[in-house]
Amino acid sequence: MNALMPLPKYHQVYLVLREQLHEGKFDQGLPSELALMEHYAVARVTIRRALAQLAQEGLISREPGRGTRSLVKRSTSPAAGGYTKSQQARLTGLLENLVTMGLSTSVKVLSVVRMTAPMDVASALQLPDQGWVQKAQRVRYTKEGPLSHITTWIPDNIASGFGRKELAKKPILMLLEESGVKVGRAEQSISAKLADASMAPHLDVAVGSALLAVNRLIFDVDDKPIQWLHGLYRPDRYEYQMQLSRVGGIDAKVWVSKELTANFH
């Protein structure tokens, strides 16, 4: 928690917990008050005020002896984040931009592990149950400081040719192409997320700070998923731009994107 933020500490905790409840993080129940106190480094009264706010809004139920459980009903979405055709982004321009970003910034590799794919990752990458993936977590930096925290999952058979050493030197899309993969297109969504206590130190922001959340599923030229990415970006150092044009008849004009760019500073 950051005492210099304009929001009270309890409200910072409340905002982060509320977001995580809607994400389904606590579907099996919330941590104890003590665990939350330690996680957010705040007093018990702060946690209790945050939980009381959530309970007042009907988001949680607190029962003595049974703990705290989520009351949030989440709608099920299609695999890989519920993308529609209108949300698909061609990699023409975007691929080059991402590679340029990778070459113009530095990166710190936090972890690289080989693991069985979680259910949502297996669904996004169209892998069988118990399919293996490489999970990598990295923080990318500009000269001003941390820019983004990136988590990627790649099918193990594709990622077998590179690891921590290679990921520290080259953009992952370049490594994929060097492995023989021909990148085709991407599906991407951009939303907002609040920095929690585990993420805030990586990006040098206060808990509760707003971040840009990017989910990107990349396909090869045969339309087979090859990478599932989740990125959190500092909005003061990253911006995403789209050039739009109006097309169609006068009674049915629609906006279509011509180009995708990502700028960082």
- Contact yes or no for 78/89 (Cβ under 8 A): no
Q: Give the domain 87-234 fold.
A: Chorismate lyase (3.40.1410)
* C-beta atoms surrounding 2 within 10 Å: 14
* Residues facing residue 133 across a β-bridge: 115, 155
For residue 162, the Cα-to-chain-centroid distance in whole angstroms is 23
Structure confidence at residue 133 (pLDDT): 96
Note the pLDDT of residue 233. 92
Return the DSSP state at 86: G
Given this model, what pLDDT does residue 37 score?
Answer: 92
Contact 260, 97 (CB under 8 A): yes
* pLDDT on residue 43: 92
Domain 9-70 part of CATH 1.10.10.10: yes
Helices (H), the chain: 9-22, 33-40, 44-56, 79-82, 94-104, 119-124, 156-159, 164-167, 172-178, 200-203
d(CA 121, CA 197): 24
> Is residue 126 left, alpha or beta, with left meaning phi > 0 and alpha meaning psi from -120 to 50?
left
Q: What is the pLDDT of residue 63?
A: 85
Largest Cα separation within the chain, whole Å, is 64
Q: If the chain, 265 residues long, is cut into consecutive pieces of 10 residues, what is the mean pLDDT of each piece?
A: 60 86 87 91 92 92 87 58 38 49 78 94 91 95 91 94 91 86 86 93 93 92 94 86 64 56 51
Cβ density class 204-243: b for 16+ within 10 Å, e for less: ebebbbebbebbbbbbbeeeebbbbbbbbbbeebbeeeee
pLDDT score for 20: 86
- What's this model's pTM, rounded to 2 decimal places? 0.70
- Give the pLDDT score at 92: 40
Residues carrying CATH 1.10.10.10, the chain: 9-70
The three-state DSSP-derived secondary structure of 218-230 is EEECCCCEEEEEE
